[in-house]
Amino acid sequence: MATRATAGSFIELIIRFRFLLGAVVVVLLVAGTRFDALRGVEALILALSLPLIVALVGTIKLQNGSSRVRGIALLVAVLVVVVCEVEIGHTLFPPKVVSSAELTLAAPDGTLEVPGGHRFDIEAQGTLAHGRSAAEGHFVLNLERGGESARMEGDFSRSATMVRGSRRRAPQVSAAHAIDTARDTVDLPGDGAVHVRLESLTGSVGKTLHVHVLPPVPFGRGLEIVLFALVAIALVVQAAAAREGVNVSFAGWLGFAVAMALYLPRHFSPSDPLGGVFGALLVALAVGGIGGWIAGMLTSRMAAA
C-alpha cells in the first residue's frame, strides 16, 4: 500500500508540474541556439529523454483505467521506449565506420568494402558553402553489387534566422540549422565490395562528397515493424480504455516517441545536433503526436459507439 501511495504521489507531482517541465524543455532549446557549447549536450539529453517522458505521461493518463488496461499500457510503453532508445542511441553514438570513399563529379567512382550481409547503412556527408547564410544542395548515388543496383539521394540544407539590427547595424544571423549528412539503409544481394558512383551533386555544396559504410542497427527493419505494431496495440489499448469511460490520447503520446525515433536517424547532422533533434521534435509532434491523437480519437469513438 505504501508503494502504491508513493507512486500515486509521484504521478500527481508530474501532472501538477507538467507545464513547468515543458517550459524547461523550451528554455533548453532556446539556450542551445544562443550558446554553441551547449548544443551537443542538450541534443543528447533531449533526444534520449523525450521518448521516456512522453511514454510516461501517456501511461500516467491511464491511471483511472482497469488494472488490465494499465498493465498492457505499461508493457507497450516500456517496449516503445526500449526500441526508440536503441534507434536514437545508434544515431547519437554511431558505430565505427567500416569503409569510406571520397567522390567528385570529376572522379565519380569508388569502391566500398562491406563485410558480409545484404544490409548496411550508407552515410553521405557534404560540405555546405562557408558562412551562416542559407544554402542547399542535392546528391544522387548509385550503388551496385552482383549485377543489382540501389539508388540513394538526399538533400543538404542550411537555414538561417535573421535578427533585425538597429539603424546603424545590419541584420545579424542569430541561428543557423544545418543538415549536411544523409543516412539510409541499403539492401543489396551478395557480399563483398560495393561499387558506388556519384550521379549528381548540385547546389551550394563543396565538390567532394564523403561516403561511409556503417553497420546497420541490429534488427533494424524488424525494429521499425515492431514500433508500428506497438502503435497499433496502443490504439487498441486506448479503445479499451474508452469503453471504460477513460478518454486519453495514449496512442498520440506513443506516436510522438515512435515518429521521433524513425525520423531522427535519417535527418541527424553531427555538425548541428540540436537542430536535428529540434527538427525531429517538430515532425514527431505533427505526424506522431497529432496523427496519433486523431487516429486514437476515431478508434475510441468507434469503440464507444
- Please report which helix (H) or strand (E) contains residue 297, including its range: helix 291-304
Query: Based on C-alpha coordinates, what's the Rg of the chain?
Result: 22
Tell me, what's the pLDDT at 80? 97
259 close to 80: Cβ distance less than 8 angstroms: no
262 close to 226: Cβ distance less than 8 angstroms: no
Residue 7 pLDDT greater than 50, yes or no: no
Of all residues in the chain, the percent with pLDDT exceeding 90 is 38
pLDDT digits (tens, 9 = 90+) for 259-300: 999 999 888 877 778 878 888 888 999 999 999 999 999 988
Q: Where are the domains of the chain?
A: 18-93+219-304, 99-214
Three-state SS string across 117-166, please? CCEEEEEEECCECCCCCCEEEEEEEEEEECCEEEEEEEEEEEEEEEECCC
170 three-state secondary structure: coil
Residue 26 pLDDT greater than 70, yes or no: no
Tell me, what's the pLDDT at 3? 44
Of all residues in the chain, the percent with pLDDT exceeding 70 is 79
Where residue 55 falls among pLDDT bands split at 50, 70, 90?
A: very high
Pick the CATH number of 99-214 from 1.10.150, 3.30.1490, 2.60.120, 2.60.40: 2.60.120
Q: What is the rounded average pLDDT for all residues in the chain?
A: 82
Residue 258 pLDDT greater than 80, yes or no: yes
Residue 51 pLDDT greater than 90, yes or no: yes
